[in-house]
Amino acid sequence: MPNNKNHQSLLTPSAAAHCKALLLPMPRKQASDLVLRARIALERLRNGERDRPLINVALQVTIITSFITRAGHGKLDIEFLENVKRGLEDIIVEADNSGRWSVPRELIDDLTAVINEYDRQICVTRMEIIVRASNYLDKLCSDSDLRPLRGGDRQAVR
């Protein structure tokens, strides 16, 4: 006689386990791997490298940190984060207009604080909030109004 019991596969986590995982912070190993990209970009900026991919990484980290902060899980002032975001946007606009990639030293110092906060947030914030922040960033990146900046097209990022 066939067994009609529904057995859940041992290879796929249950929906309940998935929901529970969203209530916990990201495991430290995964968090460290995620933050490493931002730390490398920061070090490259500190060492004088300047290009769009580095600024984009910094801008993405700033946007995610701002989202998580607005969700109530941040220690930096939202105005500080907005100033860093505007500074990074200004660099892209200037580079598009003049071809020069100029990153002020004080912006690198501020960006260091943002990346340190991002590191802290990734380690202590529920995965649900991080997933929502990531989805928000994906939406911003795919939105036709938020295409990469060209020339005086600064309003597209806001």
Residue 10 lies in a domain: no
Tokens describing residue 110: 């501020």
Residue 148 has pLDDT above 70, yes or no: no
User: For 1-22, what is each residue's pLDDT tens digit?
Assistant: 555 555 554 545 565 555 666 6
Residue 16 lies in a domain: no
Confidence band for 26, pLDDT divided at 50, 70 and 90: confident
User: For 40-49, what is each residue's pLDDT tens digit?
Assistant: 999 999 999 9
Residue 13 lies in a domain: no
User: For 113-137, what is each residue's pLDDT tens digit?
Assistant: 999 999 999 999 998 999 999 999 9
**Counted domains in the chain:** 1
CA dihedral 122, 124, 129, 132 (to 10 degrees): 10
Residue 97 lies in a domain: yes
Residues with Cβ within 8 Å of 49's Cβ and at least 6 positions away in sequence, in order, are: none
Residue 20 lies in a domain: no
User: For 61-90, what is each residue's pLDDT tens digit?
Assistant: 999 999 999 999 999 999 999 999 999 999
Give the pLDDT confidence score for residue 151 in this predicted structure: 37
Domain extent at residue 86: 27-156
Residue 15 lies in a domain: no
